[in-house]
Structure 1
Amino acid sequence: MKSLTIDHLTPLQKTLLITLNGRVVDGARSRPLLGDTKAAELAGGIDYDLGTVKLTSGVPEAVAIRSAMLDRAVESFVRGHSGAVVVELGCGLETRRSRLTSRDDPIWRDVDWYDVDFPEVIELRDALMPPPDRAHSVGVSLLDPSWTETIPADRPAVIVADGVLGFLSEEENRQVLGRITDHFAEGLLVFNAYTKFTARMNGRFTKVVGMPEDFRGFGIADPKEIVALNPALTFIDEQFGDAAPERDRLNLAYRLLARVFAKWRGQARRGVWIVRYRF
């Protein structure tokens, strides 16, 4: 297959390369944390040198661990809600659906999956991964209220967002969260959160794909700040990568640090921080 160019994507849209490369690096290791075999295939399908997407120490591990944690959250919801829909916000080149459904578990037979992102990203995604049955591509910006129009409103929905909410402003998050609770009858919102400190550092990590070094993302000090943005959400819990089962497959130094940080909430939130809300 001919490699596809991504020169037309904006720096924001190219941030998908960071998580993609994190999964590629993890998958190439002898003991991967996530083991996303499809990531390398996708990387080979685009005309871009992923070697230029430099990842600082610990980033591939963080990408793999948070992906695994979000996978578990989605699977847990689907097991408890027959006929559910999964909605992946800012999907990029995420391969969560293929990771979960490849296990050939009957729970996925009646699940519809909706991948939402900018039209240009969806076009690239569909070229690399043509949607199978019960997978639906939604090429609409999250800031356009119409992004929910093709997604069923009367079925239990798990809304999963890996990184995307951190790139929106507080007001933009308010709009997106409001659209979720206005449209869907019931469900779960799960995403990785950033502290205000981590959000201020966002530009340093994303400049490798052209984002301004002084870019500041959206961060929170407490999960209940999300409820303040949308009182229709009910905070369920927060989970930390430092306490995830993948922690025990890290090298000794990382394992020791993770065990300490897992007991130190303020520090644990600066790492992989997953929050869940009911609506």
Structure 2
Amino acid sequence: MVTANATEKISLGTVQETLLIPLYFRAKETKKENGSINDPQAVELVDKIDYDFSKFDSGKGSELGIIARTVILDKEVQKYIDEHPDCVVINIGCGLCTRNLRLDLKQAKWYNLDFPDVIEVRKKFLKTKENCYVIAKSCFDETWPNDVNAENKDVLILCEGVFMYFTEDEVKKLIQIIKKNYKKSTLYVEIMHTFMAKHSNMHDTVTKTNATFNWGIGQARDMAKLDPGLKYITEWNFVDKMADLNDNFLLKISAKVHFFKNFCNKYGVFELTQ
């Protein structure tokens, strides 16, 4: 662990660098007097990591969207754990997500899965918690399920801010890995619309990195077409929460008109069975 008030440079891959975007906005929101989230670990990390976070300050849309998605998933994951207190949660492409440190995990086991460079940063800067584990592997490495003890457990898979960086074939491959290893699982997947996925150059923060989007779909329910074991359950659109958090007139209109609302990111909820 780095010493207090010190900063340290970190080395991350191209896509992995994007994890610093949500980290920064969670920290900014936490510092507000009446912030919508409380993530002191994010504040600590931003203070300790030597990086020009200020380049993301112009991304007001991303900032609001990230706060909205955090509020939504915090609530829904806690609800799932409350209903399945002995479950297993697998956070795929975890980045520097601190949700496992902020929620009441009951008797659940939590696994954070990401590339070795990301896990190295997590180990350096983030505290540990009982029944929480890290897996330093690509999610396309078919051996990662061997590191998860999920026998006879309800399984929740989280894919937040991940699938848009994959190709469709990679999305299918990950689904197959999950399907092969778990008889039944619940997936909370962040989904980007096809139009936005094709226009990385229009994004207000990803353009500040070298990463690009690769995949999106027109409707969340269409993801169920990728595999016969996938069943669409519901979706939670970010713009609904964004409209609650902001008085912007266009946001409030977008939340009520499906055509506009559908262009916003959302969480698709799916059941995956063998």
What TM-score results when the alignment is normalised by the length of structure 1?
0.89
How far apart in 1 are the matches of 2:155 and 2:58? 33
Task: Give the 3-state SS of the residue equivalent to 2:60 in structure 1.
Answer: coil
How far apart in 2 are the matches of 1:151 and 1:197? 36
How far apart in 2 are the matches of 1:66 and 1:149? 30
Does the alignment pair 1:126 with 2:123? yes
Task: Give the 3-state SS of the residue equivalent to 1:145 in structure 2.
Answer: coil
- The Cα shift of 1:85 comes to 0.9
Residues 12-40 of structure 1: per-residue CA shift (max 9 Å, x gap):
11110111112122223233222322211
What TM-score results when the alignment is normalised by the length of structure 2?
0.90
Does the alignment pair 1:149 with 2:146? yes
Does the alignment pair 1:248 with 2:251? no
Taking structure 1 as reference, are residues 55 and 180 closer, same or farther at Cα in structure 2, changes over 3 Å only? farther
Aligned residue in 1 for 2:166: 168
Residues 96-135 of structure 1: per-residue CA shift (max 9 Å, x gap):
112213xxxxxx2311110000001001101111322100
Taking structure 1 as reference, are residues 34 and 247 closer, same or farther at Cα in structure 2, changes over 3 Å only? farther
- The Cα shift of 1:241 comes to 2.2
Aligned residue in 1 for 2:92: 89
Task: Give the 3-state SS of the residue equivalent to 1:82 in structure 2.
Answer: coil
- The Cα shift of 1:199 comes to 0.9
Taking structure 1 as reference, are residues 202 and 262 closer, same or farther at Cα in structure 2, changes over 3 Å only? same
- Matched letter for residue 119 of structure 1: P
Uncovered stretches (5+) of structure 1, i.e. residues with no partner: 102-107
- The Cα shift of 1:54 comes to 4.2
Aligned residue in 1 for 2:176: 178
Does the alignment pair 1:64 with 2:67? yes
- Given that 1:153 and 1:183 are in contact with CA atoms closer than 8 Å, whether structure 2 keeps it comes out as no
How far apart in 2 are the matches of 1:57 and 1:201? 18
Taking structure 1 as reference, are residues 21 and 229 closer, same or farther at Cα in structure 2, changes over 3 Å only? same
Taking structure 1 as reference, are residues 133 and 216 closer, same or farther at Cα in structure 2, changes over 3 Å only? closer
Aligned residue in 2 for 1:233: 230
Uncovered stretches (5+) of structure 2, i.e. residues with no partner: none
Task: Give the 3-state SS of the residue equivalent to 2:72 in structure 1.
Answer: helix
Task: Give the 3-state SS of the residue equivalent to 1:88 in structure 2.
Answer: strand
Task: Output the aligned Cα RMSD.
Answer: 1.8
Aligned residue in 1 for 2:103: 100
Aligned residue in 1 for 2:209: 209
Residues 172-211 of structure 1: per-residue CA shift (max 9 Å, x gap):
0000011112112322100211001111223443131233
- Given that 2:254 and 2:260 are in contact with CA atoms closer than 8 Å, whether structure 1 keeps it comes out as yes
Does the alignment pair 1:269 with 2:262? yes
Taking structure 1 as reference, are residues 263 and 52 closer, same or farther at Cα in structure 2, changes over 3 Å only? closer
The number of residues matched between the two structures is 265
Taking structure 1 as reference, are residues 271 and 232 closer, same or farther at Cα in structure 2, changes over 3 Å only? same
How far apart in 2 are the matches of 1:55 and 1:196? 24
Aligned residue in 2 for 1:105: none
Task: Give the 3-state SS of the residue equivalent to 1:21 in structure 2.
Answer: helix
Taking structure 1 as reference, are residues 223 and 117 closer, same or farther at Cα in structure 2, changes over 3 Å only? same
How far apart in 2 are the matches of 1:275 and 1:194? 10
Aligned residue in 1 for 2:217: 220
Task: Give the 3-state SS of the residue equivalent to 1:133 in structure 2.
Answer: coil
Aligned residue in 2 for 1:10: 13
**Between 157-166 and 180-189, the greater mean CA deviation after superposition:** 180-189
**Between 199-208 and 146-155, the greater mean CA deviation after superposition:** 199-208
Residues 246-269 of structure 1: per-residue CA shift (max 9 Å, x gap):
63332x2x2x33332122223112
Residues 189-237 of structure 1: per-residue CA shift (max 9 Å, x gap):
00211001111223443131233xxx34210012232111122111001
How far apart in 2 are the matches of 1:135 and 1:97? 7
- Given that 1:65 and 1:272 are in contact with CA atoms closer than 8 Å, whether structure 2 keeps it comes out as no
Task: Give the 3-state SS of the residue equivalent to 2:223 in structure 1.
Answer: helix
- The Cα shift of 1:46 comes to 1.3
Aligned residue in 1 for 2:186: 188
